[in-house]
Amino acid sequence: MHNERTEDEWLWGWDPTPGIVTLWAEDDGRVTVWRRDPRTGELLRETERFRPWVVLDRLDDLLHLGDALCCEGEPIANARVVYRELDGPGALRYLVTADNYKTLNTAILRGATERLGRPVATLRELGPDAAIALPLDEQYLVATGRNYFRDLTFDQLRRLQFDLETTGLSPERDRIFMVSVRDPSGTVEILEAQGRGDAPEAELIRRLVAKIREADPDVIENHNLHGFDLPFLHRRARSLGVPLALGRIGPPGLRRRAARRGMVAEDDTERRVRFVAPGRELIDTIDAVRRYDYTVRALPSYGLKAVARYLGLAGPERELIRGDLIYTTYHTDPDRVRRYAAADVEEVAALSRTLGGPAFALSRMVPRRYERLADAGPATGMIDPLLVRAYLHAGNALPAHQASDGTPHSGAALHLFATGVAHRVVKADVASLYPSLMRTYRIGPARDHLGVLLALVDRLVEQRLTAKAAGRAAPSGSAERHAHEAMSAAIKLVVNSAYGYLAAGGGLTRFADVHAANEVTRRGRETLDFMCRSLAERGVTLLEADTDGVYFAVPPVWTEADERRVVADVASLLPPLVQLEFEGRYAAMLSHEPKNYALLGYDGTLLLRGVAFRSSRAEPYGETFLRHALEHLLAGDVPGVRAVYLDTIDALRRRELPTIKIASRVRLTKTPERYRATRENRRELPYEAMLGSGREHWHVGDKVRVYRTRTGQAAVAPEVDEEGATALGDPRDYDVPHYERLLRDNFAVRLQRAFTPGDYATVFADPDQASLFAPPLETIRPVLTPRGGGD
DNA sequence: CATAACCGGGG
DNA sequence: GTGTACGGTTATG
């Protein structure tokens, strides 16, 4: 039906123009393209022309144009709008073009207004099944088959990072007093307001703008750029009357685009927007962090400092200042704030280079701007544009969205086979299960009669294997390896969302097909069940199976080679494209509930999964207890578990634990006024703690640590600095019996499944009431309890 | 007490 | 002239 070259063009586009780093398209079809020469790095600015286009489900709305409308191939001299009827059964079958998008838009809206007998002001009002109207830059990329970054490496981009230091979080109340800027060569400069008030702040913004224009970057980056720095800067510049000329063309001032993850637009509360600077790409590293954690699920927080530390990007001397203390610190120790601000932009640059690869790689495939691909979701953000381009390139009509026929969507399988403690645990899982099933059983959307989605998935998986192999062959740490790994990660993202694209409910995606999606999950459940049966037949003890992976325990005499062999045996029984892999092995596991377990690695590392074992609100002393108790439990040391429990109670009773360790972290969501209004009806611990500690003022969103005092009142725990010292001394007046109960009822219970009821009572018996008849701790063995059926 | 709505971050 | 999911928390009936 289609050949290899066609499929290549579906995936990569067809115009080889190298080095596009950004572009800006106007209504009249003029496009400014900025390219970097892949050899010299030199920046070229070119002006191109294209015909803006729309795909419609009918020509009716354009018939009023008379002679000014004509069919492609039979040109009429003064035709302003040209149409072409596309092949195939799709409902969206008229590709209409004009010299100017405004001409096209106005003509369609006029016709639609007449036809419907009501004013139609935007194409969007016609609904997604009457018109496909993309942003102009995407129209250009789809029409030309061009893509960003061909033949360019990530390091050839000119990237600049800037970070604002402000007196607070509110652009209405607060000001910018410092900006750190890292230019594309890596030099960091700290700009500061020379004094207080409007004039110095305005001058600071002017210097920032001048600095950016002089450095002339292709890309501007920061962490939470779109959520904080740009909106703050925009607001301050506007109220100070400073022109914000950050773009490369057009009048000063930032433009806006709609974006799901954007900020709330000023004029209305519904839509969300992000800023755009023509001629530059505005990249927020928080998007890359989210995308990374979406698969990895290991980040403690999405904050810059936490992520930089986690990824090993933070220097050993990294200056840290609590957010609310930055401005006050600036008065007493300005150099410290300068070091802090400099470290921020350095970390952003490193973070972007580490996690920004996938968006860069995607830009070479998907016909959208780099900055849009950085925050786009994979289904509607990447797969849909690829499908639209492929259909139009093939001259084929696109289907309308299909309303649900009421078929419910069925999900994955989840089995819990046993709870309690198991030893010698192995995890085996299928790499990219759903895409593999789609490929094996040729499951694609019914209305995709060109077979584009499956062809894309096939090509992407092949590309990924190539990229992975090339990455392994390249020297560790090299730019080449980095590029291949980024490509592999980007492809994984798209491939894994192919199923999500099928399953998207509510008519979100053009080719969504719940029947096909259900066939994928049915095959998935079948595959998982088959894997479990086959493993059990080979003598392992099944523990938990979820969607595409199985945890199981092996007999004591087995070696790692035996473990790998049993996985390979079962893998050989599966279809060739469905690849079961040996994912890891662990010394022990506590299986608590579905998706809730603790794993002890052979190297001693403890891995906790699920809400039962990690919660941001949990009191630190309880978390610490749980970790230590689990380490002893999984190492087979039951007396050690008891000792940790007794030590914790002892530390509580002796008040050796700092107050901060027993306090729980809460976020204040009501203003002082709002809380006082409802206080008589319902008392809430966090606010009572604030008032009780004499803190009458706070902002919504403030986070504090609160605890219960020995008199039963609520109090705010004193904040500690980085060294753990409190400024005013630590009262340690917490309610010991209360926190003993909490330890037993909230934390110790998470080890309940590890013991028989009698043994559990012994291990966590009250130290004051130890029974003479209890069995000695040394004889207690953790248990593993099978769960019949497994659901 | 259940379900819906909201948040994640930035100074 | 858009559109992740997910897991956790808080508001609301």
Q: Which residue is nearest to nucleotide C4 (CA to C1')?
A: A377
Residues listed for chain A: 791
Separation in Å: C1 C1' and A707 CA: 51
Q: Six-digit token pair at A272?
A: 């969300």
Q: Is the predicted pLDDT of residue A727 greater than 70, yes or no?
A: no
Q: Residues 403-462 of A near strand C (Cβ < 7 Å)?
A: none
CB A447 within 8 A of CB A511: yes
This prediction's pTM: 0.86
Nucleotides of B under 7 A from a protein CB: 8-11
Helix and strand counts by DSSP (H, E) for chain A: 25, 26
Q: Which of A115-124, A296-305, A700-709, A723-732 has the lowest mean pLDDT?
A: A723-732
Q: Rounded CA gap, A476 and A227, in Å?
A: 35
Q: Six-digit token pair at A52?
A: 């803006």
Separation in Å: C1 C1' and A535 CA: 54
| Band of residue A790 on the pLDDT scale cut at 50, 70, 90 | very low
- Average per-residue pLDDT for chain A: 88
- Name residues whose C-beta falls within 8 Å of residue A12's C-beta, 6 or more positions apart in sequence: A147, A364, A365
If you average pLDDT over residues A647-654, what whole number do you get?
95
Rounded to 5°, angle at Cα A471 from A565 and A499: 70
Q: Among candidates A18, A43, A17, A45, which has minimal Cα distance to A31?
A: A45
Please report the pLDDT score of residue A764 as a whole number.
93
If you average pLDDT over residues A625-634, what whole number do you get?
92
Q: Rounded CA gap, A757 and A93, in Å?
A: 69
Q: Is the predicted pLDDT of residue A791 greater than 50, yes or no?
A: no
Separation in Å: C11 C1' and A170 CA: 24
| Band of residue A575 on the pLDDT scale cut at 50, 70, 90 | very high
| Band of residue A266 on the pLDDT scale cut at 50, 70, 90 | low
| Band of residue A219 on the pLDDT scale cut at 50, 70, 90 | very high
| Band of residue A696 on the pLDDT scale cut at 50, 70, 90 | confident
**Looking at per-residue confidence, does A763 or A696 come out higher?**
A763
CB A536 within 8 A of CB A417: no
Q: Is the predicted pLDDT of residue A768 greater than 60, yes or no?
A: yes
Q: Rounded CA gap, A12 and A123, in Å?
A: 29
| Band of residue A721 on the pLDDT scale cut at 50, 70, 90 | low
Q: Is the predicted pLDDT of residue A314 greater than 60, yes or no?
A: yes
| Band of residue A682 on the pLDDT scale cut at 50, 70, 90 | low
Q: Rounded CA gap, A81 and A67, in Å?
A: 9
**Looking at per-residue confidence, does A222 or A478 come out higher?**
A222
Q: Among candidates A465, A489, A493, A470, which has minimal Cα distance to A481?
A: A470
| Band of residue A506 on the pLDDT scale cut at 50, 70, 90 | low
Separation in Å: B8 C1' and A66 CA: 54
Q: Residues 646-675 of A near strand C (Cβ < 7 Å)?
A: 666-667, 669-670
- Percent of chain A whose pLDDT exceeds 70: 92
Q: In Å, how far are A25, A26, A76, A625 from A138, measured between CA atoms?
A: 9, 12, 28, 54
Is residue A77 exposed (0-12), middle (13-18) or buried (19+ Cβ within 10 Å)? exposed
Q: Which of A292-301, A436-445, A642-651, A774-783 has the lowest mean pLDDT?
A: A292-301
* Partners of residue A54 on adjacent β-strands: A96
* Partners of residue A94 on adjacent β-strands: A56, A85
The answer to whether the Cα torsion of A612, A613, A618, A623 is positive or negative is: positive
Q: Is the predicted pLDDT of residue A301 greater than 90, yes or no?
A: no
> Nearest nucleotide (C1') to the CA of residue A225?
B10
Please report the pLDDT score of residue A547 as a whole number.
83
Q: Is the predicted pLDDT of residue A789 greater than 70, yes or no?
A: no
Separation in Å: C7 C1' and A377 CA: 18
* A456: Cα within 13 Å, side-chain hemisphere: 33
**Looking at per-residue confidence, does A232 or A595 come out higher?**
A232
Separation in Å: B8 C1' and A321 CA: 21
Place of tokens 């144009």: A65
> Nearest nucleotide (C1') to the CA of residue A167?
B11
CB A146 within 8 A of CB A15: yes
| Band of residue A746 on the pLDDT scale cut at 50, 70, 90 | confident
Please report the pLDDT score of residue A196 as a whole number.
93
Q: Among candidates A262, A504, A507, which has minimal Cα distance to A379?
A: A504
Please report the pLDDT score of residue A680 as a whole number.
66
Q: Helices in A13-160 by DSSP H: which ranges?
A: 101-116, 136-144
Q: Rounded CA gap, A433 and A68, in Å?
A: 53
Q: Rounded CA gap, A95 and A131, in Å?
A: 10
Q: Is the predicted pLDDT of residue A221 greater than 90, yes or no?
A: yes
Please report the pLDDT score of residue A392 as a whole number.
96
If you average pLDDT over residues A28-48, what whole number do you get?
96
Separation in Å: B11 C1' and A201 CA: 16
Tell me the pLDDT tens digit for each residue of A145-194.
999 999 999 999 999 999 999 999 888 889 999 999 999 999 999 999 99
Separation in Å: C11 C1' and A700 CA: 15
| Band of residue A336 on the pLDDT scale cut at 50, 70, 90 | very high
Q: In Å, how far are A337, A349, A350, A758, A767 from A304, measured between CA atoms?
A: 16, 11, 11, 47, 44
Q: Residues 507-526 of A near strand C (Cβ < 7 Å)?
A: 508
Q: Is the predicted pLDDT of residue A309 greater than 50, yes or no?
A: yes
Tell me the pLDDT tens digit for each residue of A105-115.
999 999 999 99
Q: Is the predicted pLDDT of residue A64 greater than 80, yes or no?
A: yes
Q: Rounded CA gap, A289 and A283, in Å?
A: 12
**b/e A418-431 (16+ beta carbons within 10 angstroms → b):** bbbbbbbbbbbbbe
Tell me the pLDDT tens digit for each residue of A417-471.
999 999 999 999 888 888 999 999 999 999 999 999 999 999 988 888 888 888 8
Q: In Å, how far are A538, A593, A672, A784 from A787, measured between CA atoms?
A: 20, 11, 50, 10
Place of tokens 């494209």: A577
Please report the pLDDT score of residue A690 as a whole number.
78
Q: Which of A49-63, A347-361, A713-727 has the lowest mean pLDDT?
A: A713-727
> Nearest nucleotide (C1') to the CA of residue A232?
B10
If you average pLDDT over residues A609-633, what whole number do you get?
81
| Band of residue A205 on the pLDDT scale cut at 50, 70, 90 | very high
Q: Residues 13-52 of A near strand C (Cβ < 7 Å)?
A: 27
